[in-house]
């Protein structure tokens, strides 16, 4: 899994990235939604997931799976 957190504070984004990575894809997406944190995650099966808050600000060559409420 790869996790990229989008935010203004490097210390917070680094901490959340590590935590989401440790939780794994499903629990990680749930935690992102619960905390209102924007991120892009890629699983070991190449599934790309992006949170609703940034989905319109990213240009994709492939269509991602959008997570969130």
Is the pTM here over 0.95, yes or no?
A: no
Judging by DSSP bridges, how do beta strands 2-6 and 38-42 pair with one another? antiparallel
Q: What would the two tokens of residue 10 be? A: 């490097």
Tell me the pLDDT band of 68, cut-offs 50, 70 and 90.
low
| pLDDT tens track for 5-49 | 998 889 988 998 999 889 987 898 888 888 889 999 888 888 888
């Amino acid at each position: 899994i790869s996790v990229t957190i989008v935010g203004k504070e490097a210390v917070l984004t680094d901490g959340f990235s590590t935590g989401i990575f440790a939780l794994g894809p499903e629990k990680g997406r749930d935690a992102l939604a619960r905390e209102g944190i924007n991120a892009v995650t890629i699983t070991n099966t190449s599934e790309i997931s992006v949170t609703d808050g940034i989905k319109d600000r990213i240009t994709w060559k492939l269509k991602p799976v959008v997570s969130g409420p």
